Amino acid sequence: DSGVTQTPKHLITATGQRVTLRCSPRSGDLSVYWYQQSLDQGLQFLIQYYNGEERAKGNILERFSAQQFPDLHSELNLSSLELGDSALYFCASSPHGETTDTQYFGPGTRLTVL
Protein backbone atom coordinates (compact mmCIF):
# COMPACT_ATOMS: atom_id res chain seq x y z
CA ASP A 1 0.00 0.00 0.00
CA SER A 2 1.63 3.23 -1.20
CA GLY A 3 -0.49 5.50 0.99
CA VAL A 4 -2.00 7.25 -2.03
CA THR A 5 -5.74 6.77 -2.31
CA GLN A 6 -7.92 7.18 -5.37
CA THR A 7 -11.66 7.08 -5.75
CA PRO A 8 -13.63 5.68 -7.36
CA LYS A 9 -11.88 2.46 -8.31
CA HIS A 10 -14.09 1.98 -11.36
CA LEU A 11 -16.23 4.40 -13.31
CA ILE A 12 -18.50 3.62 -16.23
CA THR A 13 -20.11 6.47 -18.09
CA ALA A 14 -21.38 7.50 -21.51
CA THR A 15 -19.88 9.65 -24.22
CA GLY A 16 -20.39 13.36 -23.71
CA GLN A 17 -20.55 13.07 -19.94
CA ARG A 18 -18.31 14.64 -17.30
CA VAL A 19 -16.61 12.81 -14.44
CA THR A 20 -14.39 13.70 -11.52
CA LEU A 21 -11.59 11.51 -10.23
CA ARG A 22 -10.28 12.09 -6.74
CA CYS A 23 -6.84 11.54 -5.24
CA SER A 24 -5.46 11.89 -1.72
CA PRO A 25 -1.67 12.00 -1.52
CA ARG A 26 0.51 10.26 1.02
CA SER A 27 0.66 11.98 4.37
CA GLY A 28 3.18 14.81 4.15
CA ASP A 29 3.46 14.86 0.36
CA LEU A 30 2.85 18.25 -1.21
CA SER A 31 2.97 17.30 -4.87
CA VAL A 32 0.43 15.36 -6.89
CA TYR A 33 0.79 14.01 -10.41
CA TRP A 34 -1.80 12.58 -12.79
CA TYR A 35 -1.01 9.95 -15.41
CA GLN A 36 -3.14 8.19 -18.00
CA GLN A 37 -2.53 4.58 -18.99
CA SER A 38 -4.18 3.48 -22.21
CA LEU A 39 -3.54 0.60 -24.58
CA ASP A 40 -2.47 2.79 -27.47
CA GLN A 41 -0.60 5.57 -25.63
CA GLY A 42 0.90 3.67 -22.71
CA LEU A 43 1.60 5.55 -19.50
CA GLN A 44 1.57 9.30 -20.08
CA PHE A 45 2.07 12.21 -17.74
CA LEU A 46 -0.86 14.61 -17.66
CA ILE A 47 -0.28 17.28 -15.03
CA GLN A 48 1.49 18.08 -11.76
CA TYR A 49 0.46 20.20 -8.80
CA TYR A 50 2.56 21.37 -5.92
CA ASN A 51 0.96 22.78 -2.78
CA GLY A 52 -2.11 23.92 -4.67
CA GLU A 53 -0.35 25.39 -7.67
CA GLU A 54 -0.05 23.90 -11.12
CA ARG A 55 3.61 23.15 -11.73
CA ALA A 56 3.80 21.27 -15.02
CA LYS A 57 1.59 20.13 -17.86
CA GLY A 58 2.07 17.15 -20.09
CA ASN A 59 -0.19 15.67 -22.73
CA ILE A 60 -3.40 16.80 -21.12
CA LEU A 61 -6.38 17.52 -23.35
CA GLU A 62 -8.21 20.82 -23.09
CA ARG A 63 -11.33 18.85 -22.08
CA PHE A 64 -9.45 17.74 -18.98
CA SER A 65 -8.66 19.91 -15.99
CA ALA A 66 -7.34 19.38 -12.51
CA GLN A 67 -6.89 21.18 -9.24
CA GLN A 68 -5.29 20.64 -5.87
CA PHE A 69 -7.16 21.81 -2.83
CA PRO A 70 -5.84 23.35 0.42
CA ASP A 71 -6.01 19.96 2.13
CA LEU A 72 -3.75 18.74 -0.73
CA HIS A 73 -6.19 16.30 -2.25
CA SER A 74 -6.55 16.62 -6.00
CA GLU A 75 -9.32 16.14 -8.51
CA LEU A 76 -9.06 15.42 -12.21
CA ASN A 77 -12.09 16.53 -14.19
CA LEU A 78 -12.78 14.93 -17.56
CA SER A 79 -15.52 16.44 -19.69
CA SER A 80 -17.17 15.79 -23.06
CA LEU A 81 -15.96 12.26 -22.73
CA GLU A 82 -15.08 10.24 -25.81
CA LEU A 83 -14.61 6.51 -26.27
CA GLY A 84 -10.87 7.08 -26.49
CA ASP A 85 -10.78 8.49 -22.97
CA SER A 86 -11.32 5.00 -21.58
CA ALA A 87 -8.17 4.30 -19.62
CA LEU A 88 -6.65 3.75 -16.22
CA TYR A 89 -5.95 7.06 -14.52
CA PHE A 90 -3.24 7.12 -11.89
CA CYS A 91 -2.47 9.66 -9.29
CA ALA A 92 1.00 9.78 -7.74
CA SER A 93 2.45 11.90 -4.97
CA SER A 94 5.87 12.97 -3.79
CA PRO A 95 7.13 15.09 -0.94
CA HIS A 96 8.35 18.20 -2.75
CA GLY A 97 7.71 17.70 -6.44
CA GLU A 98 11.43 17.80 -7.06
CA THR A 99 13.36 15.56 -9.41
CA THR A 100 15.09 14.01 -6.43
CA ASP A 101 11.74 12.69 -5.21
CA THR A 102 10.27 9.29 -5.86
CA GLN A 103 6.68 9.24 -7.05
CA TYR A 104 4.39 6.77 -5.29
CA PHE A 105 1.31 5.75 -7.20
CA GLY A 106 -2.24 5.13 -6.11
CA PRO A 107 -4.28 2.11 -7.19
CA GLY A 108 -5.78 3.95 -10.16
CA THR A 109 -9.29 4.68 -11.38
CA ARG A 110 -10.44 2.65 -14.34
CA LEU A 111 -12.66 4.76 -16.57
CA THR A 112 -14.85 3.12 -19.17
CA VAL A 113 -16.67 5.34 -21.62
CA LEU A 114 -19.49 3.60 -23.49
Partner 1 sequence: AQKVTQAQTEISVVEKEDVTLDCVYETRDTTYYLFWYKQPPSGELVFLIRRNSFDEQNEISGRYSWNFQKSTSSFNFTITASQVVDSAVYFCALSKETGFQKLVFGTGTRLLVSP
Residues that bind partner 1 (CB under 8 A): 2, 33, 35, 42-45, 48, 55-56, 58, 88, 90, 92, 94, 97-108, 110
State in angstroms the smallest separation of the CB of 100 from partner 1. 8
Q: Specify the residue, 52 or 107, whose C-beta has the smaller distance to partner 1.
A: 107
Q: Which residues lie closer than 8 Å to 59 by C-beta, 6 or more apart?
A: 36, 41, 44, 45, 46
Closest approach, Cβ 16 to partner 1, in A, equals: 26
* Distance (Å, whole) CA 105 – CA 89: 10
User: 24 or 103, CB closer to partner 1?
Assistant: 103
Using the minimum distance from each CB to partner 1, give the nearer residue, 79 or 110.
110
Separation of first and last alpha carbons in the chain: 31
Distance CA 114, CA 94 (A): 33
- Residue 104's CB is within 10 A of a number of other CB atoms, namely 18
Least separation in angstroms between residue 79's CB and partner 1 is: 24
